[in-house]
Structure 1
Amino acid sequence: MPHTANRLAENASFQAFANCYIREVDPGVWHIADNWQRQTGISLEHDEPYVLELQLIELGITLGIGVSYRSIVGRHLVTNVYRKQQNPWDWQRVDSVSVIVMMIDNIYAKSQGNRKAASQKLELLNRTLESHQIMQEYLVQRQNDSALDHLGFIESEQSLLFGHWLHPTPKSRQGIHSWQHKNYTPELKASFALHFFAVSRQLLQQNSLIEQSVEQIINQIAEVDCDAIDVDKQLVPVHPLQAHWLQHQDYIQQLLREGLIEDLGVMGKKFTPTSSVRTLYCAELNYMIKLSIPVKITNSLRKNKAHELEPGLNVGKLLAQSDFSEKYPQFAMIEDPAYITVKLPGMQESGFETIIRQNPFTENAINQRATLSIAALVQEPILAGCKTKLTQQVEALAQEQKKSLNTAAQLWFDCYWHCAIDPAIRLYDSHGVALEAHQQNSLITISNNRPSQYYYRDNQGFYLSQSMREQLLQREPSLNQNLDLFYDDDAIADRVGYYLFINQLFSVISRLGQDGLVSELALLERCYRKLTQLKTELNGVGVHFIEQLFNKATIPCKANLLTRVEDVDELEAEQELAVYTDIRNPIFDFHQKAMSRLKAGDDVGEETEEGKNKENEVTLESA
């Protein structure tokens, strides 16, 4: 089993890192595999139709990477790698870990002698190897666990053993010791109680939009009566990892000595971490809880920011006044209706920032048995002999409907678009609220083998339209406290283009194409026709967003590798932005073709034979 786990972890780590490098650093030169084999004399071991050649110029090395699936929108499936140095015929097979190290060496080669760059290089190497090791350990522990194939909410939250599909170090968890993973990570199905402090009420800041007060919710979690707590104090929960960090801070030790804070230790109900690690779920409770932890995950130290606490409530109040939920019941927001924190002089964050989140997936809720993130839906299968969760749904739908897999896949996709994509664009158009709706923040309920309900989580992931600012402030004056949420519509179009399209929508298209259910080209053309129709039904900022997709040859993509290369913590960066790069926009290509057909007098409303029948091939010219 350890050997199999190592092979799976090595492959998944290489897929993640190599695709980031190709997307962000060097797209390379594509070759038809047969031609490349004749030129080099190398016999590829797999059924790879393509070879991607990369020049590591700073190292004087050429890499030939076999590609078994070439994607237009998502990630390529890379296989064996061959290295050539000086002799044109001296190609040698090289292992994937060595390739990753060579890629990192090549990135930093021009920065030799730069102490900052040297430190950043060590940090990236460390995170990359740590991610691989952690992934391998998770696979060893879970490889035969049938729960990995379940569709239930918490089971799917615990199933993301391969991690973020667009990140070079998807399972890096700096700040959690090796022995603590079994206690605090979703992948190892951890379950634990929270650590509580009793805090003087004069130090507290809290707010709630719900009938039940923050204090009542917390006391319910802690399983204590109000009478058991000093009348001048209130309970505040923290994650056990965060509690250990707080106990070693001078300002906390001073407050403990002064009696303004009392350390009560671990108690109350047990929680299970969701895929974010720091948002915690208890099936018995109507609320989840989102806490800070002293852990770096992907690009950031995961802590709740003080300026994030109030906006979630205020945007919630804005949307509560609207009829959007009635018009689009298939699209739901999981609200963060309450928070509490400790406010200390001269400090933005004290470490106690606590967000209360709605829990639609309680043990008695029907949807908890078949609601999962899109990240879990599109993840590579882990259990031997299993298919991806998405493919399982399409196959079951085809059997139920007595239709072909291709037809069933398009039907599934249409249901998904209806739940997840169409309402998100309409929300921005009509209310000026854009969401960071990436695949891990996007949950889908499956009914009758197809999507029936979408849930967006993360009420700190909002962008408000600057052009609609006055009317939004008029609707909800409390937003005057959150003017930093307003962004120029061009900037919003870029961010939504990444989160909603590249990260979420394209992951579904890529998965359906890779699994051989329907070609990416057919689905992209389907998207284009849906966007064309949707544009005629909008009359606000959503029109500008669609026009950007139609008229820009490239689309900004979050460059997670380059963000890591520069060691940027995006939560600490200006406007919390990571590094971005431009990638080819496939929607633009379809718009150009449609405009050409329109000029020629053809009907652009009909799906072309290319979109209906052409297999998912990518020409070398379109690379």
Structure 2
Amino acid sequence: MLLTEPGTAADDATSTALLNCLIREVCAPEQQVRPDGAHLVARLPRAGVVLRTGLARPPVGPTYRLAPPYEERRGDEWIPATWDRLANLVAGELELATGRPNPEFLTQVDDSHTALAAIIAARGEASDDRYIDSEQSLVAGHRFHPSAKSRQGSPTDWLPYAPETRARFRPQWLAVPEDLFAEEGSPDAFKSLDAYGPASRHGRRLLPVHPWQFSLMADNPVLQEALARGLLLNLGPGDIEAVPTSSVRTVYLPDADVFCKFSLDVRITNCVRKNAWYELTGAMTLNELVPPIFEQLGSTFLTEPAYRSTTLADRRLYEGLSLILRQGVKGLPGTPLLAGALADPSNTFLADLPALADPDGAQAWWDAYVTQVVPPVLRAYLDHGVVLEPHLQNVLVCVDADGMPLHAAFRDLEGTKLTAGRWDLAHLPPRVAEGLTYAPDRGWNRVVYCLVVNHLTEIAAAVADLYPHLERSLWRTLGTHLAAHDHHPQVRALLAGVPLPAKANLRTRWSRTADRGATYVPVPNPLAASRPL
């Protein structure tokens, strides 16, 4: 799809995402969708409009595999439905369904489309490093988000720092006096990164800063005064190179083998991305608790051992100039690959793995994949009360030379929570503790959505793109793995076929709800086929 002209590719990707959301969150729950041979027909019941899309194959998992052309019925004819026409139809249906308008929605879809076209046009050459290439491969982004590439600001501002363009850049460095310097966590964590920074001055500490982040804060009067008075020294870019990863604001510095999670304080997709003050402290708390649990489980959670910022008298600067350090990937076995790259139908990461050269190999590959990914996530929740967000951008799958999965590494303490009532957090400030917990039912929904719907469903569908006849078998294999945990009632319910919870990204965007408050819609659970009544 993304090998066509940028405009056409952006049109198709935007249309696909809108229809994926519409069908999952509106048409299917209201029984307004039906397969029709090589097509899928969907009705917008309140708008009184009928749409038709291509259908790559009959559905087995909880989602459809849609394909162009996208059409609207007018009388007895099917006419092309452009991406902007679809956006208007979706907006009209949601306004009628909710009784509330959202004047931001169409602008955000348009911004996403514009950003995607700009990304495709600016995309550079692939890296020789397979891991880095996987991080920078998610050109179209989330297939079930109405504005997956929506990004605050003009493309001219952020294209130099966009992972999808295969960008690289050098961070800027500030020299901060000790009395204005904030650091928490392991005192030695930053040593490998500091070694690549410019020479600091006596009594000052180094603070790496994202250039886009720094430009966005340039008009902050407290920052301007601190620079003018020499309280902060702008040392300019250093020698070390940063590679933006799939999250945009987290970058990998291969020479130091560390990640820096910067606080851009800009809206990317649905949320304003920043390191809130309570998340900085929360990350340090979780870093003491979570990685050791995964080590016990024979898996890996990438540590976040320290953060830095400045204590200038402005909370926006404390949050906005902060960065969280994250463990690198060079100590992992095999070659790490971003799970999202394997699931993305617009690239060939999965098809290029030798292990999937034939159906038997693909079946064995899936068995190994599930073996590495599923048990740590389930046991972390069920046995330890840790709620992971193992979605496609939070999991690295380490493979051998043939591409067979050897190990899984999980990441992102911001999305990691603790089950309320299972941990004693009384020693923490109330706002920090609040940000670290989920109620048990909400935590389970988040785990199942991220692991099964967002992640495994999409990986299974990508394998089935290569070998369509395998899809049912892939779900049976997953059921076999889950059965090892069926002494837990939540897992028994999954195996019995209770509908899966899918995060309602379209409705969340329409209602302008924070991601933490996102609702879920039920989607079909093909695991039921392995345990008939």
The normalised TM-score by structure 1 is 0.77
| Superposition deviation, residue 128 in structure 1 | 1.5
Residue identity in the other structure for 2:302: I
2:80 pairs, out of 93, 96, 108, with 93
* Partner residue, 2:309: 341
- Quick one: distance in 1 between partners of 2:119 and 2:112? 11
Structure 1 residue 464 displacement after superposition: 1.4
Asked if 1 retains the 8 angstrom alpha-carbon contact of 2:264 and 2:273, the reply is yes
Cα distance, 1:84 vs. partner? 3.0
Measured in 2, the distance between the counterparts of 1:248 and 1:535 equals: 56
Look at both structures and tell me which one has the larger radius of gyration over its CA atoms: 1
Partner of 1:84: 73
Shift of 1:488: 2.6
Deviation at 1:592, TM superposition (A): 5.5
| Shift in CA distance, 62/297, structure 1 to aligned 2, threshold 3 Å | same
Deviation sequence 1:169-222 (CA, Å, 0-9, x none): 2222222x2223442111222222222333333333311226x254x4553242
Aligned to 1:578: 518
What's the counterpart of residue 343 of structure 2? 378
Residues 222 and 268 in structure 1, CA contact (< 8 A), matched pair in contact too = yes
Report the 3-state secondary structure (helix = DSSP H, G, I; strand = E; otherwise coil) of the residue aligned with 1:192.
coil
What is the identity, as a one-letter code, of the residue corresponding to 1:80? P
Check conservation: 2:120, 2:165, Cα contact below 8 A.
no
- Find the partner of 2:197 among 216, 222, 226: 222
Deviation (angstroms), 1:452 = 0.7
SS of equivalent residue, structure 2 residue 170: strand
SS at match of 1:523: helix
Tell me if structure 2 keeps the 8 A contact 1:151–1:372: no
Question: Are the equivalent residues in 1 in contact too, given 2:297–2:376 (CA < 8 A)?
Answer: no
Q: In the TM superposition, what are the counterparts of 1:223-622 in structure 2 within 5 Å?
A: 223-224=198-199, 228-231=200-203, 233-256=204-227, 259-319=230-290, 324-325=294-295, 327-328=297-298, 331-343=299-311, 347=315, 349-361=318-330, 367=334, 370-382=335-347, 388-393=348-353, 396-397=354-355, 405-447=358-400, 448-470=402-424, 482-484=432-434, 485-536=436-487, 543-550=488-495, 553-570=498-515, 576-587=516-527, 589-590=528-529, 593=532, 596=533
CA contact (8 A) 1:168 1:560 kept: yes
Counterparts of 2:291 and 2:411, CA distance in 1: 16
- Closer/same/farther in 2, CA of residues 464 and 545 from structure 1, 3 Å limit: farther
The change in CA–CA distance for 1:135 and 1:499 in structure 2 (over 3 A counts) is same
Q: Could you tell me whether the CA contact under 8 Å between 2:54 and 2:70 is conserved in 1? A: yes
Question: Structure 1 residues 249, 79: closer, same or farther in 2, change over 3 A?
Answer: same
User: Shift of the alpha carbon at 1:67?
Assistant: 2.1
Provide the identity percentage: 26
| 2:44 corresponds to 1:33 | no
Secondary structure at the counterpart of residue 452 of structure 1:
strand
1:193 pairs, out of 170, 193, 201, with 170
Provide the rounded CA distance (Å) in 1 between the counterparts of 2:267 and 2:430.
32
> How far off is 1:299 after superposition?
0.8
CA contact (8 A) 1:152 1:372 kept: yes
Does the 8 Å contact 1:191/1:270 carry over to 2?
yes
Matched, 1:62 2:50: yes
Deviation at 1:125, TM superposition (A): 1.6
Question: In the alignment, does 2:185 pair up with 1:208?
Answer: yes
Q: Which amino acid aligns with 2:208?
A: P
Check conservation: 1:558, 1:578, Cα contact below 8 A: yes
Tell me the equivalent position of 2:42. Answer: 53
Aligned residue for 2:111?
A: 130
Q: Once the 2 structures are TM-superposed, how far is the Cα of residue 398 of structure 1 from its aligned partner?
A: 5.6
**Matches of 1:2 and 1:437 in 2, distance apart?**
29
SS at 1:52's partner residue? strand
Amino acid at match of 1:171: K
Q: Which has the higher helix share?
A: 1
Q: Identify the residue that residue 174 of structure 1 maps to in structure 2.
A: 152
- Which whole-Å CA distance do the structure 1 matches of 2:371 and 2:513 have between them? 36
What whole-Å deviation, never above 9, does each CA across 1:29-75 have from its counterpart, x for those lacking one? 444536xxxxxxxxxxxxx1x331313533x4322333233432234
3-state SS of 2:409 partner: strand
Q: Deviations over 1:62-111 (max 9, x none)?
A: 223332334322342233233234x4x24433334422332223323578
Q: What SS is found at the alignment partner of 1:191?
A: coil
Letter in 2 for 1:164: H
Q: After superposition, give the CA deviation of every residue in 1:347-404 in whole Å (9 maximum; x if it has no partner).
A: 3754122101111238xx874xx3211110111234xxxxx322332xx2265xxxxx
2:143 partner letter: W
> Structure 1 residues 98 and 533 mapped into 2: Cα distance closer, same or farther (>3 Å)?
same
Task: Check conservation: 2:387, 2:443, Cα contact below 8 A.
Answer: yes
Letter in 2 for 1:461: G
The gaps in structure 1 that reach 5 residues or longer are 35-47, 383-387, 400-404, 537-542, 571-575, 597-623
**Contact preservation (8 Å) 1:20, 1:167:** yes
2:494 aligns to what SS in structure 1?
A: helix
Partner Cα distance (1:3, 1:66) in 2: 18
CA spacing shift, 1:578–1:199, aligned 2, 3 Å: farther
What CA deviation, in whole Å up to 9, does each residue of 1:111-170 have, x standing for no partner?
88x7xx3xx33x222222222232223333448x4x38x771111111111112221222
Q: Which amino acid aligns with 1:325?
A: E
Q: Is the 8 A contact 2:41 2:50 kept in 1?
A: no
Cα gap change, 1:97 to 1:2, in 2 (>3 Å): farther
Amino acid at match of 1:19: N
Distance 1:360 1:51 in 2: 42
Q: Residues 566 and 29 of structure 1: is their aligned pair in 2 closer, same or farther, counting only changes over 3 Å?
A: closer
For 1:156, what is the secondary structure of its paired residue? helix
**1:319 CA drift (Å):** 4.3
List per-residue Cα deviations over 1:467-493 (Å, max 9, x = no partner): 4325xx69xx77999532233322211
CA contact (8 A) 1:83 1:94 kept: yes
Cα RMSD after superposing both structures: 3.0
Partner Cα separation in structure 2 for residue 22 and residue 544 of structure 1: 30
Q: Which residue of 1 aligns with 2:20?
A: 19
Structure 1 residue 14, shift from structure 2 partner: 1.4
Match of 1:602 in 2: none
Q: Give the CA deviation at 1:406.
A: 3.0
> What SS does the corresponding residue of 2:138 show, helix, strand or coil?
coil
Does the C-alpha gap of structure 1 residues 279 and 29 become closer, same or farther in structure 2, counting only changes over 3 Å? same
Deviation by residue 1:292-341 (Cα, 9 ceiling, x = unmatched):
1143211112111211222333223224655x52551xx21111111012
**Partners of 1:306 and 1:353 within 8 A in 2:** no
Q: Is the 8 A contact 1:290 1:356 kept in 2?
A: yes
TM-score (norm 2): 0.89
